Amino acid sequence: MATYNQSQMTLPSGDVVKFIDNTSGYTKNTGTITGVTAGTGLSGGGTSGAVTLNHSNSVTAQNTQAVYPIKIDAQGHISAYGSAVTIPSAVTESTVSGWGFTKNTGTITGVTGSNGLTGSGTSGSVTISHAAPSTSPAKTTSAVYPITIDKYGHILTAGSAVTIPAAVAVKGNAETSYRTGNVNLTPANIGAATSDHTHTTSLATSTGTSTITLAHGSKYQLTAGGTSVIFTMPADSNTDTKVTNTLATTTKYYVTGTTSSSTNTGTQSFDSGIYSTTTAGQLNATTYLVNEKVRLEYNSTTKSLDFIFV
């Protein structure tokens, strides 16, 4: 590139030549940036001329010097802050006592495990463990086990799992399905008649007779001509004590009988004075009458046996 100075150039009158140097840094380079866009946390931008980018305002400026609790966004900007907190100038007895600390000095000099616990120590970190029984009762399957327990409530042994039956079900003879829980059985459930039931018995017509035996305490219903009468036989009021038969050849017993010789309507008589002694085959009486003609008596005066004809 040629260089000229003013003394070397002759110009027509009125013409001016201006010299431009490159102290401003101009070049022939051609730029390729066509625009600037503000990204996250920035504002501004443009596509021509002088472009300005600014830092986005994330919070309100705080000009008071203090300690604030803050939040920080992904770009490291403070996105929020709370009220100023007070930091004590120094930790003192007053501030420490407010945190729950005390001046207490421990007096425990040793720890010993007993009554189902093991381990002991007199300093440092002491470990106390639950004592295991001689035979481990551990069971890994959930079930019902018979167990033995010591006085501290520890399980010492666990036996084999036991089977708990399903709920017991009840079904009456007249029912079709089983019932569980608090089951109330009625006569109808088991196919029985109710307590006030009646029995139907066919009797003979008026031209004949029929006999039925009625039981004491039972209820009966008589129906005739469309009319029914229900009645209950009274309970047996006979309180006679029945006589039982016992084989006892050496037991004293009395001869008894009735006052009637032909029917069972007579009166039963006891203590007739004639009885079997405690010797087998021996019969005792004060007088014997033979065919109501001869009386055989023992004479206690002469100690003889008298025959008296009557």
Q: What is the pTM of this model?
A: 0.23
Residue 198 has a pLDDT of 59
Q: Alpha helices of the chain — where are they, by DSSP H? A: 93-97
SS3 content of the chain, % helix, strand, coil (to 5): 5, 25, 75
Residue 298 has a pLDDT of 79
Mean pLDDT over the full length of the chain: 74
Residue 15 has a pLDDT of 62
- Between 2-11, 54-63, 78-87, the lowest mean confidence (pLDDT) is in 2-11
Query: Tens digits of per-residue pLDDT, 70-127?
Result: 888 877 778 788 888 777 677 676 666 666 666 767 778 888 888 778 888 888 788 8
Residues with Cβ within 8 Å of residue 68, at least 6 apart in sequence: 62, 81, 82, 83, 84, 85
- Higher pLDDT: 156 or 196? It is 156
CA max distance for the chain: 222
pLDDT at 8 over 60: no
297 by Cβ neighbours in 10 Å (0-12 / 13-18 / 19+) ranks as: middle
Residue 124 has a pLDDT of 79
Q: Which of 148, 149, 156, 152 has its CA nearest to residue 116?
A: 152
SS3 41: coil
Residue 263 has a pLDDT of 67
Residues with Cβ within 8 Å of residue 293, at least 6 apart in sequence: 309, 310
**Spatial distance between the Cα atoms of 246 and 98, rounded to a whole number of angstroms:** 102
